[in-house]
Structure 1
Amino acid sequence: MAGGGLRFGYYLGIYQALCDTGRRPDLVIGNCGGAMATALLLEALSDSSETSRQSLITVMNSRLPYESIGSITDKRSDGYGQYLMPALKRWCGYQLSHLLNRPIRHTHLTDKLIGNLTHHAIGHVDGETHTPCWRFDEPTSKPSATHALILASQLNRIHAHHQWQGLLWTSNPLLWQALEELTPTNIMARYSPLICADYHLTNLPLSVMVRASITDMYYLPPLCHDDHCLMGGVIDLTPIELACQLADVVYAEPKSPFGRVLAEPAIHHVFGFSPNARLQDVHDYMANNPQIRHLDTKDYRRVRPLFDKKPNLRQGRILAYHHDFTTFVQITAEQFAYGYDVGLRCDE
């Protein structure tokens, strides 16, 4: 469950289709929007070791995701100048480096860049301080047919410099032990000196981990929790190598390219690597690995998102438009149905 954005509900449809066709996943890996879907799956599993279609739909249509998504809003006091000019500078610098055939190579993170992750973010979570206002219950300790692994990142200070480190959170103590023994290497360190080569296993609260994982730079500010600066799973949106280390069969979707105007320059600016170059490597890896079953979600944009972002030229802002609860339920049903069809079409 990597990414998905505001259409992450289709992951739950995929999961249920795999269950209904005798291919129930033992483990789901979630990051970014997929972390929210993973938390909802754990919520559905809290009363039973297995989910049913109805239990997943009930959780998706509850007030929990509606109020969680509804708390994400725009900064109505800020105009375009707050974030448009910095975005334009990132784009120009990135384009110039390619024109000159001199790729920008970041070797350290500045305090100014870290501060701007909050200052230049176009949105925020209402009522949030150092603890997310979301209330996902911690997973139960009883046996479950499916376990979860969620990815995010944190900022570490190494000597005089900052460096990003991947975070791994799991609902399964046995998987925690296996990860400790496996000591997986974060392959993203090959792409950028700003990223640590090792993961950190964390027991952060589930709500904190989900909020951290969905953080996209310059969309939502980082979460500051217990003196740690937590960022999103976009540090490695498709951790396909990790998935193949942990499983014999992996169901994964080839992701769409990152936007070249906003997303690619922003990720390169913060994490120090080209996300589209990394994505091409992921697609090559998937094409040549017999462990992987491909989920075809290339037309996922035909499904409505859970809320809309629209520029308001008169006010000079990008505004978030949330749906009422009835419309929200209709959209989650569309997302679930789309994902279910994708799961059914995925051949062994």
Structure 2
Amino acid sequence: MQAVIDASFEPMTRTEKYQCCMVMAGGGFRFGYYLGMYAAAVETGNKPDLLLASCGGSIAAAVIQALPDDAQRKAWISSPAMYRFLCGLQSTPRAAIGRSFLHAVKRRLTSSRAAVIPDLFSDYFFDIPPQLPLPPLQAQAENPPAVAIVGGKMLFSKDQVGQPRAGRKLFAETVFCDPRTAALLDGMPSPMSDPMWGDNAIAPQLLTDVQMPIGDAVRISISDMFYFPCHSHQAGHYTGGVVDLFPVELAKKLAQRVVMELKAPFSQALAIPAWRAVLGVDGNQRLRHVHSQHADVWIDASDVESVFHKRGMQQKLSWAENRLRLLMPARHETYLEHVEAQWQYGYQRGLEAFGQPGPNYKRHMRHATRHNKARPG
């Protein structure tokens, strides 16, 4: 039977905030660097007791919670089973090159925010298995960190796809977590529903779910719009952690200390139009806002794309097959080297961040542009 997100190994007052929350925001399939970040936190005496994760970061959070030490965690994500899973992500007919290009251009030329109800049921590039190769929760000498995973409950059905949105809210930000975390978030509105983000498609009410199996929560969180299909569980349909990719407000509500990442800007040509078309939000506006917030520790991952642009999973155009493809290293041994490089990247960046002279230090950000720099003042 699959485990439910639950870290209640010792009875605690539900309203007591966590000591330290490490936010694992995004990361895609380079999630190995989060294991290194966590190792650096533990080594420097900053072990988080809560991991708040979205998208690829949710895979790392689940592995950290389930396994007792760095060696076992690294071995799990380096395993042949994980390698086979990543190699098995296959393109769908929707990933035809011409079609993909035309739809991207159409989204870029459309300035309206989430004008129609998007087809997250069948309009996606890559198939992904419903079950991810995650480890079962093991007995451990010390309590592992609690895990909270961000996703989005879809407030529309398949037969409503294509209809005008007309101001309707389409997504409810949902946190899959244990009862203590749910109690701390009780009554908090979704930060992404704020009118400051314009006519967005996210409902004001923040939902929590303490019953969702962690494997389903992770699968939900990595359901990136247009890349992977939404995930169904019981009677509900869910999309990914992109609904609140950088949940700094949630982290502050949950913990005394917050560890965040400095992130790269989104592509103005591809990612920003997709955010606008589905969520009605400007992703870089949100990122600038997040970077202007206070956090106790900022880990610089702003250059992760350039550091790993030729390592790990690559998105390629296969002209012969007329498909966008996700390509993994041809040999498992090469994959092992790439995982080790990701781990070391996160570990070194973590040591750097935890060694900074004081809280909220951000001057070590390597890749800052007008699209992701913190707002002045």
Category of TM-score, reference length = shorter chain: 0.7 to 0.9
What is the CA-CA distance between 1:133 and the residue it aligns to? 2.7
User: Residues 249, 231 of structure 1: CA spacing in aligned structure 2 closer, same or farther, 3 A cutoff?
Assistant: same
Q: Give the drift of 1:63.
A: 3.6
2:200–2:280 contact (8 Å) kept in structure 1: yes
C-alpha offsets along residues 38-71 of structure 1, whole Å, 9 cap, x if unaligned? 12112214xxxxx3x3232222222443233233
Task: For 2:109, give the aligned amino acid.
Answer: C
Q: Does the CA contact (< 8 Å) of 2:94 and 2:100 recur in 1?
A: no
Aligned counterparts of 1:223 and 1:71: Cα–Cα separation in 2: 18
Aligned counterpart for 1:205 among listed residues 207, 210, 213 = 213
Q: Matches of residues 219-298 of structure 1 in structure 2 within 5 Å?
A: 219-285=227-293, 289=294, 291-298=295-302
Write out per-residue CA displacement over residues 265-290 of structure 1, whole angstroms, 9 at most, x where no aligned residue: 011100111111111111112xxx2x
Per-residue CA deviation, residues 117-155 of structure 1 (Å, 9 max, x unaligned), is: 344312111xx4xxx132435646987241111101111
**1:13–1:337 contact (8 Å) kept in structure 2:** yes
Aligned partner letter, 2:337: Q
CA change 1:249–1:313 in 2 (3 A) is same
Q: 2:67: which partner in 1?
A: 44
Match of 1:120 among 105, 116, 123: 123
Per the alignment, residue 338 of structure 1 pairs with 345
Q: Is the contact made by 2:51 and 2:61 (CA closer than 8 Å) also made in structure 1?
A: yes
CA distance in 2, matches of 1:217, 1:330: 30
Within the candidate set 313, 316, 319, 1:313 is matched to: 319
> What corresponds to 1:164 in structure 2?
171
Say which SS state the counterpart of residue 243 (structure 2) adopts. helix
| Residue in structure 1 matching 2:35, options 12, 23, 29 | 12
**SS class of match (1:204):** coil
Structure 1 residues 95-106: aligned runs within 5 Å = 104-106=112-114
Whether contact under 8 Å (2:94, 2:125) holds in the other structure is: no
Change (3 A) 1:228 1:138: farther
Change in Cα spacing, 1:20 to 1:154, as seen in structure 2 (3 Å) is same
RMSD between aligned residues: 2.5
Counterparts of 1:55 and 1:119 in 2: how far apart (Å)? 37
Aligned letter for 2:322? Answer: G
Mapped partners of 1:199, 1:120: distance in 2: 26
Task: Name the CA distance, whole Å, in 1 between partners of 2:188 and 2:49.
Answer: 19
Distance (whole Å) between structure 1 residues aligned to residue 191 and residue 30 of structure 2: 27
With normalisation by structure 1, the TM-score equals 0.83
Kept in 2, the 8 Å contact 1:82–1:120? The answer is no
Match of 1:151 in 2: 150
Q: Which whole-Å CA distance do the structure 1 matches of 2:95 and 2:256 have between them?
A: 49
Alpha-carbon shift at residue 326 of structure 1 (Å): 1.7
Q: Which ranges of 4 or more aligned residues in structure 1 deviate by more than 6 Å?
A: 140-143
Q: What is the SS of the residue equivalent to 2:327? A: strand
Q: Please state whether the residue corresponding to 1:319 is helix, strand or coil.
A: strand
Q: Which has the higher helix share?
A: 1
Deviation at 1:257, TM superposition (A): 0.8
Match for 2:131: what amino acid? C
Match of 2:107 in 1: 90
- Whether 1:67 aligns to 2:90 is no
Aligned partners of 2:127 and 2:250: how far apart in 1?
31
- 1:136-147 equivalent positions in 2, closer than 5 A: 136-137=134-135, 139=137, 144-147=143-146
Q: What percent of counterpart residues are identical?
A: 27
CA contact (8 A) 1:136 1:206 kept: no
**One-letter amino acid of the counterpart of residue 75, structure 1:** T
Judging changes above 3 Å, is the alpha-carbon distance between structure 1 residues 35 and 344 closer, same or farther for their aligned structure 2 residues?
A: same
TM-score normalized by the length of structure 2: 0.77
Q: CA deviation at 1:264?
A: 0.4
In the alignment, the residues of structure 2 paired with residue 316 and residue 244 of structure 1 have an alpha-carbon distance, to the nearest angstrom, of 46
| Residues 72-106 of structure 1: CA deviation (Å, up to 9, x unaligned) | 22226852243222211001123xxxxxxxxx244
Unaligned runs of 5+ in 1: 46-50, 95-103
Task: Give the drift of 1:2.
Answer: 0.2
Counterpart CA distance in 2 for 1:109 and 1:155 is: 14
Which position in structure 2 is the counterpart of 1:22?
45
Q: C-alpha separation between the residues in 1 aligned to 2:184 and 2:86?
A: 33
The one-letter code matched in structure 2 to 1:16 is A
Q: What letter corresponds to residue 280 of structure 1 in structure 2?
A: R
Q: 1:174 to 1:162 in 2, by over 3 A?
A: closer
